[in-house]
Amino acid sequence: MKLKTLLITGLLFVAVSDQLKAQFTLPDLPYGYDALEPAIDKETMALHHGKHHAGYVSNLNAAVKGTAMEAKSLEQILGSLKGASLAVRNNAGGHYNHSLFWKIMSPKSTEPSAALVKLINKDFGSLDALKSAFADSAAKRFGSGWAWLIVQNGKLKISSTPNQDNPLMDVVSEKGTPILALDVWEHAYYLKYQNKRADYISSWWKIVNWQMVEELYNQAKK
């Protein structure tokens, strides 16, 4: 019995030690799985964060282990993907994209500040015009991917990427610093909306954390 206990304890210690040594970890959500309802349901959030995002983190740690990328930050990896494996590209993107996605949503309804609206008006004409163009980009992304609002050369611009690519990657054509992101992979909405992506996009605007969007914009400008 003592030997068995020691073996179990040893295995647990190894497992915990491996987790502590892992370069990348799954971030906690700043709200509960049910906090974004009815826009995004509890079951989808649990699956999306606890399974999909967790999978990207685990696979990324495995993909960089023993390579030169093991010592790099996530942003450094995204900026040096030329020649990297598809596993590194997909999982680094998946980890970054989802980490941002959780932050730019909020259970509390928010509105962009007057300062942010002024910036939006300058580059898009109006907040409604921005929403329309962004929603169009998200709806027209064929298959799986993301829609983005980025800061590019000091201006706000909308872009879209396939799979888990993002505008920070050195292997994409449309580069910039993301400040708003929408996941349009089916696992992000199918349990609730099925094939009605447009309904998902429309509901999602109600949970955008505009304060975080502005904070990310200010960071990008620096």
Instruction: Sketch out the chain's domains with CATH numbers.
Output: 114-221 (3.55.40.20)
H-only helix segments in the chain: 2-21, 42-47, 54-64, 74-78, 86-103, 114-124, 127-140, 190-193, 197-204, 210-221
Pairing, β 177-183 against β 145-152? antiparallel
Q: 112 in helix, strand or coil?
A: coil
Question: How far is residue 9's CA from residue 179's CA, in Å, rounded to a whole number?
Answer: 44
Closest CA to 47 of 55, 36, 39, 57: 55
Contacts for 79 with CB less than 8 Å, ≥ 6 apart: 168, 169, 170
pLDDT (mean) for 85-101: 98
State the burial class of residue 170 (Cβ atoms within 10 Å of its Cβ: 0-12, 13-18, 19+): exposed
Q: Peptide bond preceding 38: is omega within 30 degrees of 0, i.e. cis?
A: yes
The pLDDT value recorded for residue 19 is 45
> Does pLDDT of 3 surpass 60?
no
Question: How far is residue 212's CA from residue 206's CA, in Å, rounded to a whole number?
Answer: 14
**Range 200-207, long-range pairs (CB < 8 A, 24+ positions):** 201/135, 201/138, 201/139, 202/135, 203/38, 203/39, 203/40, 204/39, 204/40, 204/105, 205/131, 206/39, 206/109, 207/36, 207/39, 207/40, 207/105, 207/106, 207/107, 207/109
pLDDT (mean) for 189-202: 98
Higher-confidence residue: 16 or 173? 173
Closest CA to 44 of 59, 27, 26, 29: 29
Give the predicted TM-score (pTM) of the model.
0.89
pLDDT (mean) for 95-101: 98
User: Model confidence over 114-140: pLDDT tens digits?
Assistant: 999 999 999 999 999 999 999 999 999
Closest CA to 92 of 30, 148, 164, 40: 164
The pLDDT value recorded for residue 21 is 57
> pLDDT-based confidence at 25, cuts 50/70/90?
very high
